[in-house]
Amino acid sequence: MNGEESKAPLLVDLFCGAGGLVTGFASVGFETVLASDIWVPAAETYQCNHLGHRFVQSDIRDLDLVDELKEFQGCRPLVIAGGPPCQGFSSAGARSANDERNTLVSVYAKRALSVDPDVIVFENVEGFLTAEGGKFVLDLLAPLVEAGYKVRLEKLNVANFGVPQLRKRVIAIAAKRKIPVPLQISTMAFGMPGADLLARDKPNVKGIIEYLQQFQIDSESDSLSEVRRLSGIEYERVSLIPQGGTMKDLPEELQHKSWGTRANRRVRDGIVTEKRGGAPVGIRRLKATDPSKAITSAATREFIHPEENRMLTLREAALLQTFPVNYEFVGNKSEIATLIGNAIPPVFAAVLGKAVKETLSADMVTDTNGGIVELSLTNSTGMSPALARTKKLITANIPDLSNPAVERLF
C-alpha cells in the first residue's frame, strides 16, 4: 500500500449484498476493511468481485463490530455504511408491518454507533419513510441524534446522479461535529415526479439504448446475457405493446387474467399494503430514449426491451444498475435477479462516496449536540398523508426540529 492509499478513509459495509456500494465508494478512494451479509448468494458474489476484502458472513445481531475493527480504531477516518434488507418496506411487492427485517434499522444504528465512527451512512427504499407511520425513520434518527451526530436525510432519485434509471432511494449521512455535505446532482430525467424538478439546468440522463450501446457483451460466454425465448400468447403480448406501453394497451383477450384484479387496486395513502401487491402494469415496454423504470428482482420478467420483442436480460438489468460489464453474480437466476434488484447502483454510490469524503474534510463545528440539518421527505410540492404522519412523529420526538436555524426541513 503506497502513502496515498494509506490515507484513504476506511469503509465498513453492512448488508453489503452484491457489493454495489463498495464498488462505488472504492472508485472515489475508500478502502474497505470489512463487509458483511448473511445471505449466501450475496456473500459469494461479493467475495468473487472483491478479492482480498475481509468478509464476515453473519447476522448483524451476532456481529461484534468493536472486536472486528479493533485494529483499525482511531488510525484513519472510519465510515460505517449499510442498508437493512428493503423488502419489509418496499412498495414494489408484498409488505408486512411485522416483517422481522424491519427491526434491523435500530440494530444497524446501534451496531454502527458501537465503534464511534466519523460518519454513518444509511440507504434504503422509499417505503422506509412511511412504514409504520414513520416509526423506522425514528428508529434510525433518534439514536444518531442522541449520540451527537448531525444528520442529513433525503429522498433522492438516482436518475439525477447519472444512473439511467428512475429509482427513488432514501439516503442518510450522519457526522460528528460536522455538517453532512449534500450529494451533487448532475442530470435531469423525465418520467417520475420530482426527477425533473431538481436539475432543470443539467443535461438529461442517458436513455436505455444509448447507455447499453456503450458496452461490448459476449453473449456466448456471458450466461447473464441469455435471452428468454417467448412463444404463443406470451410473444403476442410482447410484440403488441408499444414503447412506454403496458398491459392496458393490449386487447382485453390478451391481458393476463391477474391484471384486471391488480388494476382495480388503489393506493389511497401512498402506501402499498401486504394485500395490494405492486403497481398495476403487468409487463411494460421501456422507452428507448428514457431512463429505465426501477430495476427490481422482477425486471427481467416485467420489462420488455425497448426495440426488440423480448424481455431484458439479467446482464442488461445489471448494466442499468450501473454495475461494470464484467461484474460476476453467483447463484441461480432468481437469486441473481434479487441481488441485482436489491443493489445500490455503483454510479450513485460513487456520488454518495464523494459527499461522504467532502464531509470528512469539512471544518469541525463548535456545536457538539446532535441534530437534523436536512430532512427532505419529498421533492414534490405536496405531501401525502403518510409522509405527513412521519413528519409529525419526528417533529414530536426530536426537539432539534424546532431549531429556527434549521431552515430547510421537509
Active-site residue list: 86
| C-alpha cell belonging to residue 402 | 424546532
Partner residues linked to 10 by β-bridges: 31, 78
Look at residues 123, 176, 198 and name the one whose alpha carbon lies nearest to residue 359. Answer: 176
List the Cα angle 342/129/175 in 5-degree steps.
85
Query: What is the residue-wise DSSP string for 35-88?
Result: EEES-HHHHHHHHHHSTT--EEE--GGG--HHHHTTTTTTTS-EEEEE---STT
Query: Cell 437469486 belongs to which residue?
Result: 335
Bridge-based pairing state of the strands 31-37 and 78-82: unpaired
Relative orientation angle of helices 135-146 and 385-397, to the nearest 10 degrees: 30
DSSP letter assigned to residue 369: S
Residue with cell 423504470: 293
Q: Which of 290, 314, 292 is nearest to 301 (CA)?
A: 314
Residue 134 CA to residue 151 CA, distance in Å, equals 16
Burial category of 27 from C-beta neighbours within 10 Å (exposed 0-12, middle 13-18, buried 19 and up): middle
- Ordered strands of the 168-176 beta sheet: 55-57, 31-37, 10-14, 78-82, 119-125, 168-176, 149-157, 371-376
All 3 cell numbers of residue 77?
Answer: 477516518
